[in-house]
Structure 1
Amino acid sequence: MTLRDIRYLFLKLNIWLVFSAILMVVVTALALSLPLEAVGLGFLLPSLLIYFVYVEERRAVGPEDPLNHPHRTVLVRRYQRQLLITDRLALLGYETLLVWLVAQNPSTGLWYIAGGQLPLVVLGLYNHLKRHPTFDSLAVGATWSYVILFTVVISTGQRLSQALVFPFLAWLLITGAGVESRNIKDRFGDSKANKNTLAGYLGWKLGTIVFTALKSIGVLIFYVTSGLVPATLTVGILGLLRAFRTLTDREATRVNE
């Protein structure tokens, strides 16, 4: 595997989302007035899971992938073995850290280990979920929100309460809209593969307005319920995601994708 291929896969498999996961945990902890040091090694939990989920999902090449991402499809098929090894190591790390966090925190129970498997269940059902436009984006958004809140709870011993509702809703809107924002660029290939998405129905102009509005509402929720700092950091995360999207687009242009 060449360095150029590694760079391409890092961007096109969305592996950079592991960084946004860490920052989302930071924002959530601050929004709940929790000290960041209380999270500790928990910061690694969503990163390991996100790496596994996104690499595993991309390894399962869908019918729309050769149309939307031909070069990515070629590399994913070429490096199946290497990607399989790394995503299994990430999964092993996730499960090990999950058990360790439960053991370290007396306020959590063994059922938290079962709760940590929920994102994997969603991954297993994702091919079915993709058949239903909009619902799959909601499922991805809800799963992201769950993973971030679950990480904070299991790492800090934060009790389940109504205080968790607002961060969950904010991340649901932001991540769900983020999925559909990505679908805007893939709408033509998705249509040829008979995959309908909300972005495909709305089109580029209206879709951009709607999804930007949803992300803005998510930021506003943080501002109203938690103050300026979490809201500002959330805007920063969105800016970071935009920067990585730009780099990803440039990489796609480089290979005429």
Structure 2
Amino acid sequence: MTPVDREVIKEYLGDNTTEVKGSITTAKQEILARVKEAADAGVSSGGVQTFTANGTFTVPAGVTKILATACAGGQGGDYSSSSGSYYYGGKGGNGGECIIREPYTVSPGQKISITIGKGGGAGSNGIPTIIGSLVTLRGGGTVTGLVGAGVGGKGGFYYRDSSSNRGAEYGLDGARGNGGTVADRSVRSSPNGGGGGGSYGCGGNGADSSVNATTPGYGGGGGGGGYYDTIPSAGGDGIVIIEW
């Protein structure tokens, strides 16, 4: 819907309220009311632009508000470790900070730089995603309590005393994506890696003796944790989706 379309709809509904109510069903009235509400708010389904790499968003003519969905890069999963008879699976990485359809005021023709945060490598934090001067989203693992970011699951723990053993954990869900899983959560003699935390996208799955940790795609999920002798996965790269 273009700005001109919105103005036409507003004018028509304002001048023909009685006629409209008398000639269409309640369902159609509700649809028109919602369209008018969107027109008044200055936001509509005029277009969508997705960024998976750095770029620039130019605000279209007549647009004064945008909706941004975005996330930063996810944290990479941790390596496993051992000390004497103690064996620890790697923790899954945390998801990157995430927002879903947050509104921002803009100006027609304004150019907004987009920086996509990369997922952190194994054992490393994610990189921030930056949308001009509107918002900076922090990478997974940089601080605790990131908005929309799931925390990675703990890795499994094994010691000769089996009563102390612990199975690996799933990652927690993010704003939209699920936490990563682990192949086997049972308490046994295997220090499996934990699942990565979710963000806009899902977290990676943890490794065990027969399955490698999986790397998330775009969407800022945390990487899967490593098993005793396998490498954990990197975190997922960020993404930016702008609607107007």
Q: TM-score, normalised by structure 1?
A: 0.24
Higher radius of gyration, 1 or 2: 2
**Greater fraction strand:** 2
**Greater fraction helix:** 1
